[in-house]
Amino acid sequence: LTGTSREQRAFQYVLAHAIPGDPHHILQTFDQWCYHCEHLSCVGPDKGRIVERVLLERAPLRVLELGTYCGYGTVLLAQGLPPGARLYTIEGDPRHAAVAEKVIRLAGFSEQTVELIVGPSEEVIPCLREKHGLVNANLVFMDHWKRSYLRDLRLLESHQLLAEGATILADNVLFPGAPHFLQYAKTCGKYHCRVHRASLEY
């Protein structure tokens, strides 16, 4: 009825209430909106703590995010990067990408730190090295279409885009679920798997 999407309404709220250049406060403001106004499928604070812990443990210099959505996960990842690190984030929906771009820049992250790439992941991944300069990723955060998880993991493998000892962090593998991805990760012999128990966002 308003002529604007949920994502745009959430951004307007963040714009009005969050402190520019303060990533933590921007995430908190998103959380307030999602708890009290409208639900968005952002990572949220509960699962966000798992992401923060992995970032702290791994200190990755090259991070790839599949599924930018509104930029919540991107800001969460970017604020935990070690100095000199770079984050590449891919979003297939141009409308979501337009909101995410504003959120990322509002949080204070430049294009040198966070590069937002708009396009289907299956088309972008093969071009990451030549077109965007990503030699390989130390950490991959998957939070896009669950049915694309396995396909995109295999694309990353076939294009040698995973650094030795890379960490793949995949959201919602149990619900709504990515059973083929989970089976492959557990049985292919390339990965050590761990399932983090968490509640659904908000």
Sequence-distant contacts of 151-158: CB under 8 A, at least 24 apart: 151/122, 152/66, 152/121, 152/122, 152/125, 153/181, 153/184, 153/185, 154/184, 155/121, 155/122, 155/125, 155/126, 156/64, 156/125, 157/190
| Tally of CB atoms within 10 A around 1 | 3
Cα separation, 76 vs 59, in Å, equals 14
Pairing of strands 137-142, 86-91: unpaired
For the chain, the C-alpha Rg in angstroms (whole number) is 16
- Distances, alpha carbon 195 to alpha carbons 29, 50, 63, 110, in Å: 28, 11, 20, 33
Six token digits for residue 158: 């076939």
Which residues are part of the catalytic machinery? 143, 146, 171-172, 201
Cα separation, 94 vs 36, in Å, equals 27
